[in-house]
Structure 1
């Protein structure tokens, strides 16, 4: 796993809200594997696996239409970057974290 690999799971809101969250992370991680697009889905996922991003970058956040729950999972560095980026772009509340040997998971609630 590279030091920037990150999986993001988003529930609540709709596909538009999921795209807003994913776009906010692009400054720190580059383009995801795909943008959320299924308007009927209740959970959206994106994976970032780019190399060479050294800073958090400038978040390109839009506005959320509803609260969304976000889970970020990856290396400690990637999770820390995602947490910092999302907290800088949205009103965010910590909803818990878990750590393993080489991966971390962090959950947060983003509010409009």
Structure 2
């Protein structure tokens, strides 16, 4: 059975911050299919995507890494993938939940990650 997609959008901070967030999620989902580039411009939106298998998802527990600035992270995918991503990020960074929206088969969640 093929996997589904988890998409990630990171705004605020810089490319290194976005890459730090992606590395944290790689502990749960494996390597990203698409990752942010090395553009170091502040307040740019960075995106990444992961292929998510159909197996039971477990939150990753990466080492804590500092961010240079607060970043807003939006994850979108199946409810199980979004829950796993949210648990991984809240276990890794200081976070504020900014809300979620549930659709028919997808969910979107937004978090503020603080340095």
TM-score under structure 2 length normalisation: 0.88
**Deviation by residue 1:76-107 (Cα, 9 ceiling, x = unmatched):** 00000000000000000000110000000000
CA RMSD of aligned residues (A): 1.8
* Most deviating of 79-88 and 29-38: 29-38
Question: 1:6 matched to which residue of 2?
Answer: 6
- Alignment coverage as a number of residue pairs: 111
1:81 aligns with 84
Which ranges of structure 2 fall in alignment gaps of 5 or more residues?
none
Tell me, which stretches of 5 or more residues in structure 1 are unaligned? none
- 2:59 pairs, out of 52, 56, 64, with 56
What does residue 46 of structure 1 align with? 48
Alpha-carbon distance, 1:62 to partner: 1.7
Partner of 1:24: 24
Q: Scaled by the length of structure 1, what TM-score is found?
A: 0.90
1:53: Cα distance to partner?
A: 6.5
